Amino acid sequence: MRVVIVGAGITKFAEHWNKSFRELIVEAAVKAIESSGLKGEQIEAIYGGCMASGRLIGQEHIGALIADQLGLNPIPSTRCEAACASGGVALRTAYLAIKSGLHSIVAVGGVEKMTELSTQAVSFALGGAGDQEIELFHGATFPSLYALLARAHMHAYGTTEEQMASVAVKNHANALLNPNAQFHKEITIEDVMNSAYVAEPIKLLDCSPITDGAAALILASEDKAKELGLKGVEILASEQASDTLALSSRESLTELKATRIAAQKAYERAGIRPSDIDFAEVHDCFTIAEILAIEDLGFFKKGEGGLASEKGKTSLKGKIPINPSGGLKAKGHPVGATGVAQAVEAYMQLMGLADKRQVKNARIGLTHNVGGSGATAVVTIYKRFKG
């Protein structure tokens, strides 16, 4: 049973002071339903990604909230939580629900409202994505954890802060072409290098921002898509893997093992190689995370990701365009929505709807969504659905 994305919707990623959590959900979902040409009553189930709504806005029971706000009761509606990979896990769960034959049309959503609290409070909420007892309670924030990964990579392979900065510069350039991105500001290597250290060697402009936003997709079985005459993007594979929650228990700090394993399984299931991928949306919560990702996904050899970024091999016109949307770094990172937003970008690229950031001759795309410092990874591969 093949699974097809037949509709996609996304809000602007920003600090939405005048929009509520539920308003963001409805906006993205309505856009997705309208783009599919379907009606709400045709949807059989909902899977929603949301990481930390309890801590951030005091609201739990998000599955029920989504169905309620969309007027889709009494269909089953389920929240999926896997830290920053919540959206990717929601997408994979929906994919499996159709793949199994349980449902023929489902909605997938991802949402987070992060700007209601102070930066300190948000950092504490996000810290729950790591090991609270071993890391958070001893003062380890996520910038500091990724700083450890950066230091290890720099020591092993000679990766430089300038190479990390090149990731930020490229993603800001891509975001300028994305009307839904949080940042529409060009930056330079010098801007990044002159920004303050958050956790050395990671600087302010190496970090993704605090963001509000939502994204949604409509998935259908191949048979239902053909029956209704729907066009879209096929999900060739979606694989998930896990690793230790705390960095101190990892075998290596120069790779995210869960990414490597999920990618290997996804390539095998899709029957392709890394060289067959035309573009990828990867989890660049920090610039070092993108460098790790492009290596662990097999686009570049281990240790060569920094140099590849510096040489422009990941630009829109490079060897393998990475984060044409602007990525988490510049498009924004509303944590529970990120994995779904990546899939929205894959859909737009493969449908030829990405306008000025369109990757030329895009045929096969990949998304890579990470939870915490790599304890969860979801890798999904897509191609244009021809019916």
Rounded mean pLDDT, 323-335: 98
Q: Are residues 175 and 305 in the same domain?
A: yes
Q: Are residues 74 and 183 in the same domain?
A: no
| 3-class SS of residue 170 | helix
Q: Considering only CA atoms, which of 375, 333, 331, 379 is closest in space to residue 128?
A: 375
Does the pLDDT at position 114 exceed 80? yes
The domain containing residue 149 runs over which residues? 138-207+237-382
Q: Are residues 254 and 310 in the same domain?
A: yes
Rounded mean pLDDT, 283-294: 98
Q: Are residues 87 and 152 in the same domain?
A: no
Predicted local distance difference test score (pLDDT) of residue 47: 98
Q: Are residues 376 and 266 in the same domain?
A: yes
Q: Considering only CA atoms, which of 310, 309, 316 is closest in space to residue 280?
A: 316
- Where is average pLDDT lowest: 111-125, 154-168, 311-325? 111-125
Predicted local distance difference test score (pLDDT) of residue 387: 65
pLDDT band at 386 (very low <50, low <70, confident <90, very high): confident
Residue 57: count of CB within 10 angstroms of its CB: 17
- Percentage of the chain exceeding pLDDT 70: 100
- Number of structural domains found in the chain: 2
Does the pLDDT at position 222 exceed 70? yes
What region, left, alpha or beta, does residue 101 occupy, with left being phi > 0 and alpha being psi -120 to 50 degrees?
Answer: left
Q: Are residues 187 and 171 in the same domain?
A: yes
Predicted local distance difference test score (pLDDT) of residue 347: 98
Strand pairing report for 105-112 and 202-203 = unpaired
Strands (E), 113-251: 197-199, 202-203, 213-221, 232-242
CATH assignment of the domain containing 108: 3.40.47.10
Contacts of 108 (CB under 8 A, 6+ apart): 46, 47, 48, 49, 90, 91, 94, 216, 217, 218, 219, 340, 343
Q: What is the pLDDT of residues 241-270, one digit of tens each?
A: 999 999 999 999 999 999 999 999 999 999
Q: Are residues 188 and 294 in the same domain?
A: yes
The catalytic site residues sit at: 84, 333
Rounded mean pLDDT, 185-199: 98
Tokens at 104, concatenated: 């023929």
Residue 333 belongs to some domain of the structure: yes
**Do the beta carbons of residue 105 and residue 218 sit within 8 Å?**
yes
Is this model's pTM higher than 0.85 or not?
Answer: yes
What's the CA angle centered on 380, arms 377 and 383, to 5 degrees? 165
Q: Are residues 226 and 80 in the same domain?
A: yes
Residue 26 belongs to some domain of the structure: yes
Q: Which of 233, 248, 275 is the last residue of a domain?
A: 233
Contacts of 282 (CB under 8 A, 6+ apart): 289, 290, 293, 294, 297, 322, 323, 327, 367, 368
